[in-house]
Amino acid sequence: MHVKQIHLFKLNKEEFVKIQHILQPKINLSPTIPLNSINTCAGVDLAYWEQNGEPYGVCSIIVIDADTKEVIEKVHSMGKISVPYVSGFLAFRELPLIIEAAKKLETEPDVFLFDGNGYLHYNHMGVATHAAFFLGKPTIGIAKTYLKIKGCDFEMPENEVGAYTDIIIDGEVYGRALRTRRDVKPIFLSCGNHIDLESSYQITMSLINQESRLPIPVRLADLETHVLRTFYQKNHG
């Protein structure tokens, strides 16, 4: 898969801020692909560990058939993490491995779903949103925990499959608290880029089964990163 080179990553915090402010006006929250033409969906997740005092990470991308839910392709990348963790700028830390893994894809997924936030972010630039500028594809953010912005809490959705409450901050919809299964905690859905919230919701709900509150490709990528992390911890030295 072709991946664009938008910017470098070994930058300081001031440069992180500058890049987010440059990219933010270019976010497109309108639908760019009809729902009935989505054939493949990719899940993206990362896992980290320390080895000899150095941080390492692994990124898994798993592509499934949107109809059959069967795995079509899976790729991964592993390496030393060179960008330190800075709150609000996680994408700069994760994107090098995401890009490296995406370049290995023979399939070109119609939509990417990330284990992380998208528009639901301090500067609307969570990893799902930021990654879209490199991938050139619609992206969706699926967070397992709530990122509180400007002190705003979310309203718990009803305990029904598909129930949601919009997360509104300063009069703007940042995302949705979404109940994908009864009697389990909600996930936090937000647009990434090149997609609208309703399409993100429909795609996400179409990828839920009884095994997890997470969409299938995100859950599979999450499981795979744990397997890969264990493997590399034992075999990489």
SS (H, E, C) 7-57: CCCCCCHHHHHHHHHHHHHHCCCCCCCCHHHCCEEEEEEEEEEEECCEEEE
Element (H, E) at 233: helix 216-235
Cβ within 8 Å of residue 53, ≥6 positions away: none
Phi, psi (rounded to 5 degrees) for 188: -120, 105
What SS3 class is residue 60? Answer: strand
> Do the annotations mark residue 153 as ligand-binding?
no
| Longest CA–CA separation in the chain, Å | 51
Q: Is 67 annotated as a binding residue?
A: no
Side chain identity at residue 78, one-letter code: M
Q: Report the binding-site residues for Mg(2+).
A: 45, 115
